[in-house]
Chain A
């Protein structure tokens, strides 16, 4: 029986990380942050989160590369990934891997919480 569900946030925007962490921590989730794909992979392997919220468009080791490597790692492959994206980018460019779901930016804090809860419920991890 898990303690608090652990969520890994991967986004290069410090302000968005600040807002998302605040929102999720206030709902008693444990939040780990990473500001680029490389850092995200390291922290994912170390901390083994229950859910990853990933910005698909980051410059360094961008989101696609992160997700691809994430999926290839047997230890991480089963973790659900919630992808953040801007509407104009998500179309016309198919995701090169299977993501569980995606959210279009800009997201309202309550929508983020709702989506996270929905995901964790689906995978049977509840706080």
Chain B
């Protein structure tokens, strides 16, 4: 035989679970009325909350009562309700006859004998009324009254939390929509910035290629400088506009299962001639079986191009090695060079936007590594640098690691 106290504890535990859960406001309300009715072995329980302007009391949840009874009408003339709203619980032994009850006839038809009306408090304000209904006449004890109020008050907190959570979700949805619109706006901006540059570059190329007649070497040189500057600007625009796109999570669209070794081989092949021109050996170490990753081929190539061309640019002579390693939970790609390295003080800031190291030349925007970091993180991975490369004591090693096989855990848009 379960004692009253045990029942109370069990109900409080259940309500606490509801408070802790991220349930909807509706589920919290239903849990409250059900738990109270069951704990007291009552016929039913209803919860009514005041509207924000405190003018009306709305039936918010009910258990064990017919729809008809729940919708009986406004309770403006019910004295037990008005007393409860003032903060005083009211126990009524005979609901069908007590004058403090407004709907005595309806109570009789519904089979209600006794009624307890108690205030629901949230931070010391009365926010509503909880009512417990019994089928047989019942003298509500002080313990029972106390219990009902304790549960109702806990429930009010749970409800408040649930509502705030809902508000947060709505806000988040709104912000995400605003972000999507911003990214769309940026696409238009990108196009408008790039078009005149593309046209200008074409006009210059047209002259340089001799279509307007012979030009001197001097003129060719100047125009090619212009063409290069435009190239740099086009790259900067693409990079700048890429960042919001990556941050808005739009990479998910480009992702698929792919063979990492293939991507690495493509990137290396693309930079092979550049390395050769500088007299640097570009080597690759791949595992026997190509690991599979869920990623965007184009974006991984972007990261690899960034890391490998950095390795080549910052190495006067020697090797740039790209190594793919399969570990327990992740796949690591290392780019190791025998170059001039990174001063230790600058290592933590390497991946910052626009960071140009003291070793860096004049070229470049300082966005390459920060974009690579964003791309890798959008894939659920990590990227980091070590200088000097621990095994040789010179050069640098840049590593990025991606989760194995599965999806990165980000929600696709």
Contacts and interface: CB of A to CB of B under 8 A. Distances in A.
B316 interface: no
Given A89-B191, A92-B254, A15 B199 contact: yes
A15 B254 CA distance: 33
B242 A88 contact: yes
Interface string B180-204: 0000000100110011011111110
A109 B211 contact: yes
A105 B253 contact: no
Interface in B197-227: 197-203, 205-206, 209, 211
Contacts of B197: 106
A94 to B, nearest CB: 10
Interface residues of A, number: 22
A100 interface: no
B191 A57 contact: yes
A105 B197 CA distance: 10
A87 B302 CA distance: 13
B373 to A, nearest CB: 20
Given A26-B211, A89-B187, A16 B238 contact: no
Given A16-B199, A87-B238, A106-B234, A92 B250 contact: yes
Contacts of B191: 57, 86, 89
B241 A88 contact: yes
A105 B194 CA distance: 10
A110 B206 CA distance: 9
A16 B197 CA distance: 11
A1 interface: no
B164 interface: no
A18 B241 CA distance: 29
Nearest to B200: A15
Interface in B151-200: 187, 190-191, 194-195, 197-200
Contacts of A22: 206, 211
A83 B190 CA distance: 19
A23 B250 CA distance: 38
B298 interface: yes
B202 A107 contact: yes
A108 B198 contact: no
Interface string A39-58: 00000000000000000010
A92 B253 contact: yes
A91 to B, nearest CB: 6
A19 B234 contact: no
A60 B191 CA distance: 15
A22 B209 CA distance: 12
A13 interface: yes
Interface of B: 187, 190-191, 194-195, 197-203, 205-206, 209, 211, 234, 238, 241-242, 250, 253-254, 298
Given A15-B203, A86-B190, A109-B206, 14 more contacts: A13-B198, A16-B198, A19-B203, A19-B206, A22-B206, A23-B206, A86-B194, A88-B238, A88-B242, A91-B254, A92-B254, A105-B198, A108-B205, A109-B211
6 contacts: A23-B209, A86-B198, A88-B187, A92-B253, A105-B198, A106-B202
Interface of A: 13, 15-16, 18-20, 22-23, 26, 57, 86-89, 91-92, 105-110
